[in-house]
Amino acid sequence: MTDADVSDPPTRGRRGLPVGPVGLLVITAIALLVAFLAARLVIGLLSEPVPDVQDVLDDQAQAPLVTDLDTRVELDGPAPNVRLEFLDGGVQDLAELAGVGTPVVLNFWASTCIPCLNEMPALEEVSNELDGRVTFLGVAVADGEDAAIEMVERTGVTYRNARDPRSEIFAVYGGIALPRTVVITGDGTVVETHSGELDADDIRAMLDRHGLLPA
Residue spans per domain, the chain: 21-50, 53-209
Measured N-to-C along each axis, helices 200-209 and 114-130 cross at an angle, to the nearest 10 degrees, of: 60
Omega of the bond prior to 18 within 30 degrees of 0, cis?
no
CB atoms within 10 A of CB 35: 10
> In angstroms, rounded to a whole number, what is the distance separating the alpha carbons of residues 107 and 207?
14
Per-residue pLDDT of the chain (215 residues; tens, 9 = 90+): 554 454 555 545 445 545 566 666 667 768 777 776 766 665 554 444 555 554 544 544 466 788 776 788 999 999 999 999 999 999 999 999 999 999 999 999 999 999 999 999 999 999 999 999 999 999 999 999 999 999 999 999 999 999 999 999 999 999 999 999 999 999 999 999 999 999 999 999 999 999 999 87
Of 109, 103, 140, the C-alpha closest to 122 is: 109
The pLDDT of residue 26: 66
The pLDDT of residue 105: 98
Max CA-CA distance within the chain?
115
The pLDDT of residue 71: 82
The pLDDT of residue 70: 77
> In angstroms, rounded to a whole number, what is the distance separating the alpha carbons of residues 143 and 112?
9
The pLDDT of residue 32: 72
Query: Which CATH superfamily is 53-209 part of?
Result: Glutaredoxin (3.40.30.10)
3-class secondary-structure state, position 100: coil
Of 127, 135, 174, the C-alpha closest to 155 is: 127
> In angstroms, rounded to a whole number, what is the distance separating the alpha carbons of residues 48 and 45?
5
Start-end of H helices in 67-136: 114-130
Type of residue at 7: S
The pLDDT of residue 114: 97
Which H/E stretch holds residue 32?
Answer: helix 21-47
The pLDDT of residue 47: 47
Of 68, 77, 170, the C-alpha closest to 116 is: 170
